[in-house]
C-alpha cells in the first residue's frame, strides 16, 4: 500500500514544526548567550558622580526649557535644598539615578531574569531576558527593563519610567518619554562598564550617552538598607562617600547530609519565576499569644477602637520578612541558583536572600529580614530564618514579634508547577506560648514583570494626624504638607538625630 501524504496533514505538520521552531527559538532567546557569570556578584561604583556628563565629558544636551529647570534646581542645591530629588525623603531614586548613588549593588541571574539588588533602601530591578519589548501599563520608578545578550554585552532597554525622579543628584530632569539603553560588559581590567544612551526628546535635543564604571571589592556586600532608620539616626538619606559594608558574611557551611546534598544538586529550578498570592490574609487569627503578647494586642485594639490609625512596621515602610510570610501581597520574583534562592517582593518592597545548604553564623546582627538558610527536602524547599530584629508585626492587629522569632517555611511546589504551598512555623517564646503554623499559597503569575511599591513616595501629613505608633521607631521622619491656595505641597523632614528606639 502506498501512503500518500495528505496535504492537510502536511500543512498541519508544517504548522507544528514551525510552532516548535518558534517555541525553541523563544526558549533560546531566554537563555543568556553571553557570559552572565562575568556580570554576577557585587559591584562598587568607581566614582558615583553627583552630576552626569556625556561619555566624552561634556554637559548633557538639554533643551532650553529643561536647562531652565536644571539651573533652578542647581540653585536650590547650592542653597542646601534637595527637595527636587525624592531620595531626600527616602522615596525611589529611579533610573539612572540609583546607579549614580555611592552604594554597591549585586547582580544575580537565572536563565530567564537578571536582577540588580541595590544597596540603597531595598531597591531592585528585574531585567526580563525573555521579552522582546515591554508595554508598561503605568510608569514606575525603576521602569520596565528588558534585556538581551549581544555577544559578551548585556543590552538593557528600559522604558516606563515615572517623571517624578531625577537622573542625578544635580537634578537633571527627564520625562516619561525617557528610554534608557544600557550596554553592560566587563572590561579587560575587570571593571564593569555601563554605557547608557539617554533618549528623552522632551528634555534633550538629541540622544546622548554617559558611562558609569564599577569595580569588584571582595569585602563589599549589599545589606538590607532601611533609609528611614538611617534618617532617624540623624544620617543623610544618601551618603556622599562610596559605601561598602565590610561585615563578614557567613560562608556556606558543610552540607547537612549526603542525601540532602544529592537532592539539592539534582534539583532543577522548581520555584523560579513570577508568582502572585493565591491565598490571602492579613490576619493571623489563632496565634497562641502569651500574656505579654496579649497585653500588646489588647493595647492596640483599644487604640483602634478609639479610632486611631495604627502605625506598624509595614505602614512605616520598614516591614520585616515575617510580614511577607503572614500577609502575602502582590507579585514576587524568585531567582534560583545553586547557592541561593533570591526572593524579590513587590509589596512590601524587600529582598530575601536564602543561602542554600548553609548554616546560620554563630553570631547574627539582627535585621528586619533575618538570616535565611535553605535546603531541599522531600520535594520542598525548607527555609530556616533567625536573626530578626523584633520590629515586625504579624498582622493588622499588630501581633508582635521579638528578636527570639524563629521561622521555618516549607515551600512545596505543585507537581504541575502552577502553585507553591507554603507552610510556615512561627516560634517566638517572648510573645507566643508555643510554635504555630500558618498556610499560604502562591500561584504562577501571567505577568512577566512585577510592579513596584514605593512606600515612602508620598507620606501625607493627614496619614499621621490620628496615629497610634505601635513602636516609637515607626514615627515618620518626613511628611508632605499641602500648601494653601495655589501654593503646591512641600515635604517637611524633621531632624531626629537620636538613637533608634
Partner 1 sequence: MRLGVRIAAGLSSIVAACFSTATLAHHSTAEFDYTKQITIKGTVKEVQWTNPHSYIQLLADGDGGEKTQWSVEIGSPTLNINMGWRKNSVKVGDVVTMNLSPARNGKPYGTLRVLTFADGQTLEGVAARVGAGPSGAPPPPPSTKGP
Q: Which residues bind partner 1 (CB under 8 A)?
A: 137-139, 164, 276-277, 280-283, 285, 301, 304-305, 307-312, 314-315, 323, 327-330, 347, 393, 395-397, 451, 453-455, 457-458, 460, 462-463, 465-466, 480, 482, 484-486, 488-489
Give the residue with the Cβ less far from partner 1, 147 or 476: 476
Q: Quick one: which of 316, 142, 119, 319 has its CA closest to 224? A: 119
Task: Rank residues 24 and 460 by Cβ distance to partner 1 and give the closer one.
Answer: 460
Task: Show the cell assigned to 121.
Answer: 533602601
Angle CA 295–298–302, to nearest 5 = 140
Q: How far is the CB of 112 from partner 1 (least distance, A)?
A: 23
Q: Which residues contact 328 (CB under 8 A, 6 or more apart)?
A: 277, 279, 280, 281, 440, 442
Residues 6 or more apart from 235 whose CB is under 8 A from it?
none
CA-CA-CA-CA torsion sign (235, 194, 126, 145): positive
Secondary structure E strands in 20-152 = 41-45, 105-109, 113-118, 124-128, 144-150
**How far apart are CB 315 and partner 1 at their closest, in Å?**
4
Residue 197 or 445 with smaller CB distance to partner 1: 445
**What's the CA gap between 274 and 333, in Å, rounded?**
5
Q: How far apart are CA 80 and CA 74, in angstroms?
A: 10
CA dist 345 and 315 (Å) reads 16
Judged by DSSP in three states, 437 sits in strand
Residue 44, CA atoms < 13 Å, CB-side half-sphere? 13
- H helix runs in 176-257, sequence order: 227-232
Return the C-alpha cell found at 213. 564604571
Cβ at position 347, least distance to partner 1 in Å? 8
Nearer to partner 1, 223 or 316 (CB): 316
Give whichever of 323 and 389 is closer to partner 1, judged by the CB atom: 323
CB of 387 to partner 1, least distance (A): 22
In angstroms, what is the minimal distance from the CB of 462 to partner 1?
Answer: 6
The least distance separating partner 1 from the CB of residue 277, rounded to whole angstroms, comes to 5
Nearer to partner 1, 157 or 397 (CB): 397
Nearer to partner 1, 57 or 285 (CB): 285
- Least Å distance between CB 455 and partner 1? 6
Element (H, E) at 77: helix 64-78
Nearest distance in Å: CB 427, partner 1: 21
DSSP state of 80: T
For residue 309, what is the DSSP state? E
Q: Which three cell numbers stand for residue 162?
A: 515615572
Q: How far is the CB of 109 from partner 1 (least distance, A)?
A: 26
Of 170 and 294, nearer to partner 1 (C-beta) is 294
Choose between 45 and 450: whose C-beta lies nearer to partner 1: 450
Amino acid at each position: 500500500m502506498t501512503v500518500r501524504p495528505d496535504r492537510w496533514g502536511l500543512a498541519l505538520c508544517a504548522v507544528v514544526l514551525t510552532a516548535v521552531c518558534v517555541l525553541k527559538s523563544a526558549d533560546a532567546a531566554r537563555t543568556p548567550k553571553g557570559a552572565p557569570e562575568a556580570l554576577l556578584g557585587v559591584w562598587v561604583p568607581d566614582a558615583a558622580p553627583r552630576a552626569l556628563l556625556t561619555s566624552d565629558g561634556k554637559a548633557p544636551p538639554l533643551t532650553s526649557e529643561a536647562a531652565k529647570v536644571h539651573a533652578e534646581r542647581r540653585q536650590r542645591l547650592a542653597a542646601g535644598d534637595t527637595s527636587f530629588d525624592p531620595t531626600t525623603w527616602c522615596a525611589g531614586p529611579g533610573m539612572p539615578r540609583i546607579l549614580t548613588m555611592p552604594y554597591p549593588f549585586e547582580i544575580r541571574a537565572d536563565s530567564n531574569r537578571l536582577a540588580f539588588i541595590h544597596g540603597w533602601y531595598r531597591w531592585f530591578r528585574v531585567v526580563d531576558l525573555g521579552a522582546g519589548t515591554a508595554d508598561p501599563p503605568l510608569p514606575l520608578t525603576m521602569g520596565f527593563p528588558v534585556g538581551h545578550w549581544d555577544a559578551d554585552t548585556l543590552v538593557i532597554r528600559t522604558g516606563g519610567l515615572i517623571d517624578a525622579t531625577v537622573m542625578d543628584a544635580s537634578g537633571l530632569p527627564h520625562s516619561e518619554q525617557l528610554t534608557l539603553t544600557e550596554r553592560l560588559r566587563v572590561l579587560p581590567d575587570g571593571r564593569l562598564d555601563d554605557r547608557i544612551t539617554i533618549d528623552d526628546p522632551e528634555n534633550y535635543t538629541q540622544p546622548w550617552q554617559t558611562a558609569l564604571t564599577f569595580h569588584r571589592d571582595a569585602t563589599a556586600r549589599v545589606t538590607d538598607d532601611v533609609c528611614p532608620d538611617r534618617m532617624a539616626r540623624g544620617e543623610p538619606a544618601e551618603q556622599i562617600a562610596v559605601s561598602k559594608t565590610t561585615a563578614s558574611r557567613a560562608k556556606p557551611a558543610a552540607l547537612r547530609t549526603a542525601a540532602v546534598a544529592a537532592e539539592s544538586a539534582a534539583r532543577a529550578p522548581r520555584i523560579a519565576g513570577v508568582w502572585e498570592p493565591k491565598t490571602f490574609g492579613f490576619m493571623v487569627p489563632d496565634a497562641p499569644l502569651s500574656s505579654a503578647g496579649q497585653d500588646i494586642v489588647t493595647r492596640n485594639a483599644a487604640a483602634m477602637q478609639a479610632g486611631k490609625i495604627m502605625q506598624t512596621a509595614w505602614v512605616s515602610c520598614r516591614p520585616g520578612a515575617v510580614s511577607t510570610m503572614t500577609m502575602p501581597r502582590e507579585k514576587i520574583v524568585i531567582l534560583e541558583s545553586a547557592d541561593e534562592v533570591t526572593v524579590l517582593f513587590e509589596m512590601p518592597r524587600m529582598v530575601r536572600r536564602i543561602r542554600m545548604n548553609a548554616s546560620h553564623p554563630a553570631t547574627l546582627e539582627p535585621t528586619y529580614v533575618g538570616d535565611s538558610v535553605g535546603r531541599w527536602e522531600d520535594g520542598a524547599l525548607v527555609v530556616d530564618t533567625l536573626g530578626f530584629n523584633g520590629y515586625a508585626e504579624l498582622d493588622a492587629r499588630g501581633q508582635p514579634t521579638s528578636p527570639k522569632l524563629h521561622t521555618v517555611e516549607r515551600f512545596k511546589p505543585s507537581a504541575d508547577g502552577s502553585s507553591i504551598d507554603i507552610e510556615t512555623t512561627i516560634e517566638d517564646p517572648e510573645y507566643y506560648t508555643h510554635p504555630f503554623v500558618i498556610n499560604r499559597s502562591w500561584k504562577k503569575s501571567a505577568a512577566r514583570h512585577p510592579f513596584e511599591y514605593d512606600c515612602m513616595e508620598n507620606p501625607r501629613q493627614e496619614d499621621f494626624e490620628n496615629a497610634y505608633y505601635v513602636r516609637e521607631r515607626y514615627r515618620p521622619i518626613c511628611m508632605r504638607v499641602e500648601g494653601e491656595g495655589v501654593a503646591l505641597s512641600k515635604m517637611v523632614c524633621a531632624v531626629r538625630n537620636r538613637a533608634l528606639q
